[in-house]
Amino acid sequence: MNVIEASGLGKRYGRTQALRDCTLAIPAGHVTALVGPNGAGKSTFLNLAVGLSAPSEGGLTVLGGRAPGSLAALDGIAFVAQDTPLYKNVSAGDMLHLTRNLNRQFDWAYAQTRLGELGIPLKRKAGKLSGGQQAQLALTLALARHPRLLVLDEPVAMLDPIARHDFMATVLTAAADDGVSVLLSSHVLERVADYFIVLSQGRVQVAGEADDLLAGHRILTGPAAEAATYTEQPVVHVRRGDVQAHLLVRATADDPVPPGWESHPVGLEELALAYLREPEAAALPGPIRSRGVEGAEVTR
């Protein structure tokens, strides 16, 4: 089952095209990172997925074909927005009561136990909690609904390293123990993810399982003078010095290497940055297998 499927999806705000011609499928059972710079369209995509916004073009379904925002979808999706929305003058305990009353399913015992383990006082107002505690409270409210899909919009952007680690550890535990599929957006590469979508200028540049993406790309190093004439494999990004050039190409470890060149594995961060720097690379032909945006091919 795919937790999200989008076909020709687009969203326009006035004259601004925030998302355009987005076609992808996110399979269940993954921690998926939606990676891109500020303004890339990440929050727009998430808002469409959870039903907070309607598309201007194309379509999107969630949880195996359900309409975003429908009762069937709302029961299975939990969303934590970027600013961890909490009523600052309401106590943590009252936030539990409020969330239970607004949802058809809420595990009160789980929520109380988890806040106790985190040392978050139920009587303390949300606005008096630390940033890390507020994030954990918002996450607890989401997980207590036992969602099938947990959507997180820049959830740790404002947290210190320890709070960030603790937050993501909870997310990974939910994914592993409860089978929750996770979609999180970030402007940095989240190494906890095993499925990646790189979004830039409102378009999907590349998407797929981490292992498949790494296996389908290589770094070639060779003479700088030959970089401009290299045509053996589709080139995503070129970094050239006076003597040596580094080419990120769509190729596997088994593909032949031209004389005078060496082939090396690529890291996820280097791969993501290459597609962010060269957004037109999504339209290159190559060995990546499934259809993507505007004829681009993306690994799934």
- Tens digit of pLDDT for each residue in 161-201? 898 889 889 999 999 988 999 999 987 777 789 999 999 88
Q: What is the pLDDT of residues 101-156, one digit of tens each?
A: 999 999 999 999 999 999 999 999 999 999 899 999 999 999 999 999 999 998 87
226-242 pLDDT tens trace: 988 888 889 999 998 88
Confidence of residue 283 (pLDDT cuts 50, 70, 90): low
DSSP 269: H
Residues 20 and 119 in one domain: yes
Residue 70: give the domain boundaries.
Answer: 2-201
Across the chain, mean pLDDT equals: 88
Q: How many domains does the chain have?
A: 2
Dist. CA 195–CA 30, nearest whole Å: 6
Q: How far apart are CA 50 and CA 61, in angstroms?
A: 10
High-pLDDT (> 70) share of the chain, %:
93
- Cβ–Cβ under 8 Å, residues 73 and 63: yes
Residue 97 lies in a domain: yes
Q: What CATH code is carried by the domain that includes residue 117?
A: 3.40.50.300
What is the distance between the alpha carbons of residues 151 and 69, in angstroms, rounded to a whole number? Answer: 13
Q: Give me the pLDDT at residue 297, please.
A: 35
pLDDT number for residue 183: 96
pLDDT-based confidence at residue 262 (cuts at 50, 70, 90): very high
Q: Check pLDDT > 80 for residue 53.
A: yes
Q: Both 176 and 263 in a single domain?
A: no
Q: Is there a single domain that holds both residue 242 and residue 165?
A: no
Q: What is the mean pLDDT of residues 190-218?
A: 90
